[in-house]
């Protein structure tokens, strides 16, 4: 056996070591979109020193490392600081540990906020020159800096070509192209942020033009005092620029704390202004604008639109666009439904249905024969799960994963899953659950951990699998009509959403944010498909099969010794009193634990007819279908849950599903009965 090792960068940046990474930039650059794409379901909202706009912060997993990601309010410029920009600058400089010059202010930091370790400036690629001016100011902070060159798709559509490597060489900072609303480039961006935190490499100095440096030499020497450094705790180049531009805040604080230096400083500013063709503040601003324009010209050019990857861009528009991406997700969902209700139904008719018809001719009377028939029924049920519903659907979804499409679907639905306390990465297991909950739970175990795994596993048991859907379509479609069937499925979605909200309150410790990786499109390889399919379906042989056989034998023996009357009597408080159903439906409900579609066959057997309307009205049919939809997951699902989330949570799942089934079906029954009166 070959064993390969991978060297990990040490120490891991987790816990107390995790860096604080702040997103900064102009308004409308996509900064908050990047934050939302990476954010966890638990986001802290705080105001900077209790004033100004709020910032957002959350914990994000990046591989084995972690970061505290902060979305700061937008900042326009350090030139003539506006009050909101001044508040942001204070936190970029000092966090919640304000220096001597700021301790007299009435509004002090109210929440702990360590100054950021790494800055990510988000620049709109279609307005690059304007963003570069702010870059030249952020460089003055002397802190590791990255640039997320966002909206590269829009720049490309406008014929603007930007050389990110040339831009990085000019600024001395990493420049990462991104398309935030599609999740493109975000994995590389945060990996680079971790590298910057480890290396702690600051940007290249970006001094002003030589004639300005010469003019400010006297003022620079004046500020070269330890007491000023201690009082301001501001990088010298930044403090020099702010005082040279006559920034009210820093100038006033210098006058208040060092009044003896104020006349000398004003004289130095006057000397510098006399050496320049324009007022000092205007000259500094014009010079920064000129340097940004030069960098822009060297790193960008207008060129005809490149159509080389037009097909890939069209697919991204279909699967990742904020508006149109939902169409691609719905197309995948429709394909899954087609597999469940058309392809799987055809395979079922060719396999388990024929086997069931063959076994129906065997009606043993002896105990040994009953046990043998129960084993056969269990194996037929196993074939009915695996062949038509499990394998085709898992193969389809694995192929979509291998092609890169499911990663894009997960990114699009991520925000929706956040409302139920989960990440979009569990979208694939939920889709698998439409076929069978068993492989869906195995997929959850492979894609989620901790709190997300538990909540997703609990919610997947409420996803109507093919067996439950078959009962709903068979009875509901015949006796309730299309509107009634739609109402039941819509109620299922509503219940899953509400339960997600409640479960996030039970499991209060929210998981960290995750970066949804957007891999390149690829043609699926059959070996990879078969390997992942086996990985997600192998539990059916090792765990489900023994329990399915044992459960089938136990229930068959109960029926053989005439215990069905006892079962119906014991379940009368539920079936008759609460649900208003005929008492003989107790056994079909109990057998539903073995496999849901057995309930449909046993309803006909218990009532003695396939035309159940004379014996049950439409309210009773609707109540029964709703109860079966939310009722305790089948034995196969419960067996996998024991392995996936443990005995305690699996038991809680049973209690939750029984409680939800009783509460919802009872709550629906009452208004429906009022309508019939």
For residue 346, what pLDDT is reported? 79
Bond before 644 cis per omega within 30 degrees:
no
pLDDT at 609 over 70: no
pLDDT band at residue 1 under the 50/70/90 scheme: very low
Per-residue pLDDT of 354-410, as tens digits, reads 877 787 778 888 888 888 887 887 777 677 767 776 778 778 888 888 888 887 887
Q: Name the most confidently modeled range: 179-183, 193-197, 369-373, 386-390.
A: 193-197
Q: Which residues of 651-668 are buried (b: 16+ CB within 10 A; e: fewer)?
A: ebbeebbeebbbebbbeb
Residue spans of beta strands (DSSP E) within 6-50: 20-24, 44-48
In angstroms, the CA 66 to CA 198 distance is 12
pLDDT at 546 over 60: yes
Q: How far is CA 196 from CA 35, 351, 371, 594, in A?
A: 18, 58, 67, 55
Lowest pLDDT segment from 314-318, 330-334, 518-522, 618-622: 314-318
For residue 581, what pLDDT is reported? 86
- Report the share of the chain in percent with pLDDT over 90: 18
pLDDT at 106 over 50: yes
Mean predicted lDDT score pLDDT of the chain = 82
List, in order, residues 6 or more apart from 613 with CB less than 8 Å away.
Answer: 479
For residue 144, what pLDDT is reported? 94
For residue 133, what pLDDT is reported? 93
- Report the share of the chain in percent with pLDDT over 70: 89
Average pLDDT of 489-507?
86
Q: Name the most confidently modeled range: 64-68, 117-121, 209-213.
A: 117-121
Average pLDDT of 147-162?
88
DSSP states of 440-490: HHHHHHHH--HHHHHHHHHHHTTS--HHHHHHIIIIIHHHTHHHHHHHHHH
Q: Which residues pair with 20 in a beta bridge?
A: 68
pLDDT band at residue 502 under the 50/70/90 scheme: confident
pLDDT at 107 over 80: no
Per-residue pLDDT of 556-605, as tens digits, reads 787 777 777 888 888 888 888 888 888 888 877 776 666 555 555 566 55
For residue 121, what pLDDT is reported? 97
What's the sign of the alpha-carbon dihedral 665, 667, 671, 676? positive
pTM of full prediction above 0.85: no
pLDDT band at residue 543 under the 50/70/90 scheme: low
CATH of domain 15-206: 3.40.50.300
Per-residue pLDDT of 244-282, as tens digits, reads 887 788 888 888 889 998 899 889 988 888 888 888 888
The SS3 assignment for 623 reads helix
The SS3 assignment for 150 reads strand
Domain extent listing, the chain: 15-206, 210-302, 317-509+527-676
For residue 407, what pLDDT is reported? 79
Which has the closest alpha carbon to 663: 616, 629, 619, 612?
629
């Amino acid at each position: 056996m070959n064993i390969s090792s991978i060297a990990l960068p040490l120490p891991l940046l987790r816990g107390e070591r995790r860096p604080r990474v702040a997103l900064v930039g102009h308004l409308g650059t996509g900064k908050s979109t990047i934050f939302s794409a990476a954010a966890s379901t638990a986001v802290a909202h705080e105001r900077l020193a209790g004033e100004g706009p709020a910032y957002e912060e959350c914990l994000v997993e990046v591989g084995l490392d972690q970061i505290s990601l902060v979305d700061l309010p937008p900042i326009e410029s350090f030139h003539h600081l506006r009050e909101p920009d001044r508040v942001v600058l204070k936190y970029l400089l000092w966090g919640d540990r304000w220096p001597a010059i700021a301790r007299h202010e009435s509004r002090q930091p109210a929440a702990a906020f360590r100054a950021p370790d790494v800055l990510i400036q988000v620049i709109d690629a279609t307005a690059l020159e304007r963003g570069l001016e702010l870059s030249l100011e952020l460089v003055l902070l002397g802190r590791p800096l990255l640039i997320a060159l966002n909206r590269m798709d829009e720049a490309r559509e406008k014929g603007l070509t930007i050389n990110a490597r040339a831009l990085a060489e000019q600024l001395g900072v990493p420049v990462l192209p991104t398309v935030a609303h599609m999740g493109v480039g975000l994995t590389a961006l945060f990996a680079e942020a971790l590298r910057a935190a480890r290396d702690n490499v600051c940007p290249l100095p970006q001094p002003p033009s030589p004639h300005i440096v010469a003019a400010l030499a006297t003022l620079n020497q004046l500020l070269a005092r330890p007491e000023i450094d201690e009082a301001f705790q501001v990088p010298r180049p930044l403090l020099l620029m702010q005082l040279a531009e006559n920034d009210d805040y820093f100038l006033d604080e210098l006058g208040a704390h060092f009044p003896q230096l104020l006349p000398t400083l004003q004289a130095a500013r006057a000397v510098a202004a006399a050496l320049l063709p324009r007022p000092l503040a205007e000259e500094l601003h014009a010079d920064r604008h000129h340097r940004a324009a030069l960098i822009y010209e060297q790193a960008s050019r207008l060129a005809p639109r490149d159509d080389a990857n037009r097909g890939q861009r069209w697919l991204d528009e279909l699967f990742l666009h904020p508006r149109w991406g939902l169409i691609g997700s719905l197309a995948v969902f429709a394909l899954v439904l087609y597999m469940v209700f058309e392809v799987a139904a055809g395979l079922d008719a060719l396999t388990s249905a024929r086997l069931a018809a063959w076994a129906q001719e065997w009606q043993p009377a002896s105990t040994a024969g009953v046990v043998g028939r129960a084993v056969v029924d269990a194996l037929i049920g196993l074939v009915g799960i695996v062949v038509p519903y499990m394998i085709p659907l898992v193969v389809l979804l694995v192929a979509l994963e291998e092609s890169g499409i499911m990663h894009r679907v997960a990114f699009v639905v991520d925000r929706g899953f956040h409302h139920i306390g989960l990440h979009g990465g569990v979208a694939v297991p939920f889709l698998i659950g439409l076929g069978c909950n068993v492989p869906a739970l195995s997929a959850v175990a492979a894609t989620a951990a901790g709190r997300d795994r538990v909540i997703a596993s609990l919610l997947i048991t409420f996803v109507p699998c093919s067996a439950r859907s078959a009962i709903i379509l068979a009875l509901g479609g015949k006796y309730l009509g299309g509107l009634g069937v739609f109402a039941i499925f819509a109620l299922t979605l509503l219940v899953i959403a509400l339960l997600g909200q409640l479960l996030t309150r039970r499991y209060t410790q929210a998981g960290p944010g995750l970066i949804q990786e957007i891999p390149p499109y690829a043609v699926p390889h059959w070996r990879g498909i078969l390997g992942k399919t086996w990985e997600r379906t192998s539990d059916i042989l090792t765990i489900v099969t023994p329990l399915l056989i044992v459960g089938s034998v136990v229930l068959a023996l109960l029926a053989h010794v005439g215990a069905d009357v006892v079962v119906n009597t014991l379940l009368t408080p539920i079936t008759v009193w609460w649900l208003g159903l005929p008492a003989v439906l107790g056994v079909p409900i109990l057998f539903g634990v073995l496999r849901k579609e057995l309930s449909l066959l046993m309803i006909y057997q218990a009532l003695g007819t396939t035309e159940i309307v004379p014996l049950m009205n439409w309210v009773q049919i609707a109540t029964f279908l709703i109860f079966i939809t939310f009722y305790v997951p089948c034995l196969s699902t419960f067996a996998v849950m024991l392995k996936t989330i443990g005995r305690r949570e699996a038991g809680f799942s049973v209690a939750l599903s029984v409680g939800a089934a009783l509460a919802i079906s009872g709550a629906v029954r009452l208004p429906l009965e009022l309508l019939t009166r």
